Amino acid sequence: MPTSINHLAPPTGGIADNIAGFARALRAAGLPVGPGAVIDAMTALEVIDIGKRADVFTTLESIFVKRHEHALIFSQAFDLFFRPAEEWKSMLDSVPLPDHAKKKPPPASRRVQEAMSQPQTHEEPKAQEQDLRLAVSDREVLQKKDFAQMSAAEIAEVARAIAKMRLPQAELKTRRHTADPRGRRIDMRKTLRQALRTEGEIINFHRLGRIEKPAPIVALLDISGSMSEYTRLFLHFLHAITDARKRVSVFLFGTRLTNVTRALRQRDPDEALASCSANVEDWAGGTRIATSLQTFNKQWARRVLGQGAIVLLISDGLEREADSKLAFEMDRLHRSCRRLIWLNPLLRYSGFEAKAQGIKTMLPHVDEFRPVHNLTSIETLISALSSPLPPHQRSAIRPAA
C-alpha cells in the first residue's frame, strides 16, 4: 500500500502526519531516526504548548538528535520543513533532495561480478604439489616486497594476509573483577552461597582477579598524495585490527582530519574502505600535519586518548610548513598518550636520514620510529603492539632499518 506520508510534500494539517513526514526527512538527511522516536515525539508534543516554535524545536531536537554533530542538520531540516505552505513550492524547486533511485550500487557488486565471470571448472589437480611449492616461495617474496611496487593481485594477497593477522589481547589491568582461581580478592558472595550448601562451613574460598583489557589504539593515517601508494594497505591493516579489537579509533588526515572509526567497523573490508573514502574530502591532496594534529588534540584527544591509548602516527612526515606549531602539537600529542609510535614508509631506504624539516621537528616527540612498507614490517609492528607496555616514559628513539 503506498503511504500518503511523504517528506517531499508540504506538511498537511495533522500533527501525526507532520511528525512522520519530518522524521522521514531527517532519515533522508542521514539522521538515525527510528519509529520509537516518532512515537516519543508525538507524546512529547502533547504535553507542551505547540504554539511556541522554539519549544517545539527543542522538544523535537531532544528526541531526534542523539549526537551533538547532528544538531546542525536537524536545525536546517526543521527550518525547511516547518515553513509556510506557500514557500514550499519555491523551495522544492531550488533544493535538490536526495534521490534514492540514483544511489550507486554497493561495493560488493563488483566482487560478485568477478566471482560470476570466473570459469567454473577448477582442474589440474595433478600439478597440486608443484603449485603449493610455488605458492610458498611467492609468499616469501611478497613478505619483503615494497607495498609501492606491488601489482593489484599482490595487493589483494597482502590484504588477505593482513586480515588474517591477529593482535594478542590482554594488556591493561582494569579495576573490574572476574572469577579467577588465582586472583587476589576473595569473592565473599560466592563463597557464602557455597557455604550454605555445607551448612555454613566454608570449604574453599572463591577468588576474583582483575579483568585485563587491551590498551586502546588510536591511528592517525596520512592520506596525502605522497602516501597514496600505501594508504589503501594501511586501511586494510587498520580494518583488520579494528575488527579484532574493541577500542580502536582511526582518523585520516591530509589537509583536514576525518574520523572514520565508524566506517571501519563494518565487517566487509571492501565496504568499510569504500565508506571510508566516501567520508573523506581531501584524498591524496596536500598535507597539513600541524593543523590536523591541532584539530585532533583539541576535538578528539580528550575523547579517545583517555584510557591510556597507544597512538600510531602513520605518515612520511613530509610537511613543508614545519614550524614551532608542529613541534607544539606533537609535544601535546605525545604527552597525552601512553605511547606514540611513528610509522614511516620512508624508513625503508637503508641510507635514510632525517633531513626533511618536518621529520626533524617531529622526531624528538615520538617514543618509537618504525618502518612500514612491507608485510614483514607490519608483522614486527604487531608483535611490538602485543608486547607488554612499558611504563609511560620516553624511550630511546630507534631509527631501525
Partner 1 sequence: MSAPALPASVDAMLELLSSRGYLAERSLATVTYLSLRMGRPLFLEGEAGVGKTEIAKVLSAALGRKLIRLQCYEGLDVASAVYEWNSAAQMIAIRLAEAGGEVDRDQLTSDIFADRYLIKRPLLQALEPDVAGAPVLLIDELDRADEAFEAYLLEILSDFQVTIPEFGTVKAPHPPIVIITSNRTREIHDALKRRCLYHWVDYPSAERELAIVKTRLPGISQRLSQQIVRFVQALRDQDFYKSPGVAETLDWATALTELDARSLNAEVVGDTLGALLKYQDDIARMQGDALQKAIKDATNET
The nearest distance, CB 216 to partner 1, in angstroms, is 10
* Residue 199, Ramachandran bin (φ over 0: left; ψ between -120 and 50: alpha; else beta): left
The nearest distance, CB 156 to partner 1, in angstroms, is 33
Kindly tell me which of 43 and 130 has the beta carbon lying closer to partner 1: 43
The nearest distance, CB 34 to partner 1, in angstroms, is 7
Kindly tell me which of 89 and 175 has the beta carbon lying closer to partner 1: 175
Kindly tell me which of 206 and 239 has the beta carbon lying closer to partner 1: 206
Strand partners, 369: 342
Kindly tell me which of 173 and 320 has the beta carbon lying closer to partner 1: 173
The grid coordinates of residue 381 equal 609492528
What is the Cα–Cα distance from 141 to 274, expressed in whole angstroms? 29
The nearest distance, CB 360 to partner 1, in angstroms, is 22
Tell me which residues touch partner 1 (CB under 8 A).
Answer: 32, 34, 36-37, 40, 43-44, 47-49, 52, 54-55, 57-59, 61-63, 65-68, 71, 174-177, 188-189, 191-193, 195-197, 199-200, 246, 297-298, 302-304, 306-307, 328, 332
Give the side-chain half-sphere CA count within 13 A for 226: 17
What is the Cα–Cα distance from 222 to 317, expressed in whole angstroms? 9
Kindly tell me which of 231 and 291 has the beta carbon lying closer to partner 1: 291
The nearest distance, CB 165 to partner 1, in angstroms, is 25
Q: Where are the alpha helices (DSSP H) in 165-310?
A: 188-197, 228-244, 261-264, 269-279, 289-295, 301-304
Q: Count Cβ atoms below 10 Å from residue 253 Cβ, excluding itself.
A: 25
The nearest distance, CB 176 to partner 1, in angstroms, is 5
Kindly tell me which of 36 and 388 has the beta carbon lying closer to partner 1: 36
**For 268-273, which contacts have Cβ atoms below 8 Å and span 24 or more sequence positions?**
268/108, 269/159, 269/163, 269/236, 269/239, 269/240, 270/107, 270/108, 270/111, 271/106, 271/107, 271/108, 272/235, 272/239, 273/232, 273/235, 273/236, 273/239
